[in-house]
Amino acid sequence: MRNNRIVALFVLCLCFAFPVFCGEKSGQIDWDKAQQLYKKRQSGVVLSADEQQYLQRAIEARQKGEGPRPQGQPQGPGANAGPDKIKGVAPLNEMEGRYKGEDGGLYGKGRNEPAEIQKKLARKAAGNIRLLDAEGNPSVNGKIAVLTIGMSNTSQESEAFIRLEKNDSEKSDSVVLVNGAQGGITADKWIPGSPLEAKVWSNVEGRLKAAGVSFNQVQAVWLKEAIAQPAGRGEFPAHAKFLLDSLSALARYAKVKCPNLQIIFISSRIYGGYASTNLNPEPYAFESAFPVRWLIREQSGESPELNADPALGTVKAPVFSGGPIFGRTEKSRGKATGLPGKKKTSALTGLIRARQERRRSQNCWRSFSKAVNLPKIGT
């Protein structure tokens, strides 16, 4: 049955689409209002249909060169960090040679396939996914909840996909996707010790409840996280190791909050070369891919703190599986997306290009889904 196929679960995580811009004359746009709507969306607040349409009109008009011109260029460590910040460096799956001591391949040593032990763990985790009731007990009338965790970028992609999946005939009605990602909530803010931890997870609980599911029914997570202003944590690998520790703690805590969580698909953030602030520009965005693979390799190395196999002792974490690694560099940027090649950009132009990068995730996820061979669950 449709409900018994893991593909029905995984299809939720593997495609993203974004709305098409629809514009009017710039004279009909209040640019201050448009800017406020953009900031509101960046904070993780879901815009109403009218607000979303208004913002889309403004972005389209700005793409055409309409609207007020920017007053000078953005300033600061992350300003105008265009593609030359990581010039000549290919995405990990294409990278040859070394980058600051790290070799290429999603899993290192030039390999784009996980270790066999990780494949076995993932197959076993997929086989454990079942229809569960709100208390976590098997039920033919139960649900499979898929939760997304991340910051504003993840939230925007999640909301877009939730709209898409409502019309997907291949998705089982028993699979429920919930956007748990929240604006400004970076990896270190989800874990014990963070002053925001309780509020963050309370928000997640409220969203799960609104979707008709509970923590006990969450069995898969898509995790896409970063840290804010990574330069303040030191240059590579210092900031990357901080992110690694945060991701590790977040994954373990997610297993505590969601006791039936079986698997986490982990992605690093999209290309940040058009960032107009120092929030998470290049090369830090590119370098955030390394903690993702370090985390998966630690579990493959049978780290007790990340154990996901009951045969090896107490389970402390779900199984980690690499999601697509989003990235963009001078080498592959224009070929894949047709992005303009200007070195310097205004903040608003950077917004438009960042949106194009988020759109690109749709194709990444679709390609990824075709490459993953997932077994059936149940009979």
Please indicate, yes or no, if residue 376 is contained in any of the structural domains. Answer: no
Please report, in angstroms and rounded to a whole number, the separation of the first and last CA atoms in the chain: 8
CA 360, 366, 369: angle at the middle one, nearest 5? 140
pLDDT at res. 340? 30
Please indicate, yes or no, if residue 377 is contained in any of the structural domains. Answer: no
Which residues fall within 8 angstroms of residue 130, CB to CB, at 6 or more apart? 138, 142, 144, 219, 377, 378
C-alpha–C-alpha distance, residues 291 and 239, integer Å: 10
Please indicate, yes or no, if residue 55 is contained in any of the structural domains. Answer: yes
Tens of pLDDT along the chain (379 residues) come to 444 443 334 433 333 322 222 223 335 788 778 878 877 765 656 778 788 778 778 777 765 666 664 443 333 333 333 444 455 577 788 888 899 999 998 888 999 888 999 999 999 998 999 999 999 999 999 999 999 999 988 898 888 878 877 777 777 889 999 999 999 999 999 999 999 999 999 999 999 999 999 999 999 999 999 999 999 999 999 999 999 999 999 999 999 999 999 999 999 888 887 777 788 888 999 999 999 999 999 999 889 999 999 999 999 999 999 876 555 443 443 333 222 333 333 333 333 344 444 454 444 444 443 343 332 333 2
C-alpha–C-alpha distance, residues 166 and 198, integer Å: 30
pLDDT at res. 254? 98
Q: CB atoms < 10 A from the CB of 157, how many?
A: 27
Preceding omega of 114 cis (within 30 degrees of 0) = no
Nearest residue to 289 (alpha-carbon basis) of 117, 86, 123, 120:
86
- Residue 195 belongs to domain spanning: 2-371
pLDDT at res. 230? 94
Q: Count of domains in the chain? A: 1
Please indicate, yes or no, if residue 131 is contained in any of the structural domains. Answer: yes
pLDDT at res. 8? 38
Please indicate, yes or no, if residue 378 is contained in any of the structural domains. Answer: no
Strands (E), 87-215: 98-99, 102-103, 144-150, 175-179
Preceding omega of 281 cis (within 30 degrees of 0) = no
Please indicate, yes or no, if residue 42 is contained in any of the structural domains. Answer: yes
Would you say 116 and 358 are in contact if contact means Cβ atoms under 8 Å apart? no
pLDDT at res. 191? 96
Tokens at 265, concatenated: 């698909």
Please indicate, yes or no, if residue 340 is contained in any of the structural domains. Answer: yes
CA-CA-CA-CA dihedral for 62, 67, 72, 77, to nearest 10: -40
Would you say 13 and 222 are in contact if contact means Cβ atoms under 8 Å apart? yes
pLDDT at res. 9? 41
pLDDT at res. 62? 66
DSSP string for 247-306: HHHHHHHHHHHSTT--EEEEEPPPP-TT-SSSSS-TTHHHHTHHHHHHHHHHHHTT-GGG
Length of the chain: 379
Q: Taking the model in full, what pTM does it have?
A: 0.72
Please indicate, yes or no, if residue 379 is contained in any of the structural domains. Answer: no
DSSP string for 40-71: HHHTTPPPPHHHHHHHHHHHHHHHTT-SPPPS
pLDDT at res. 325? 59
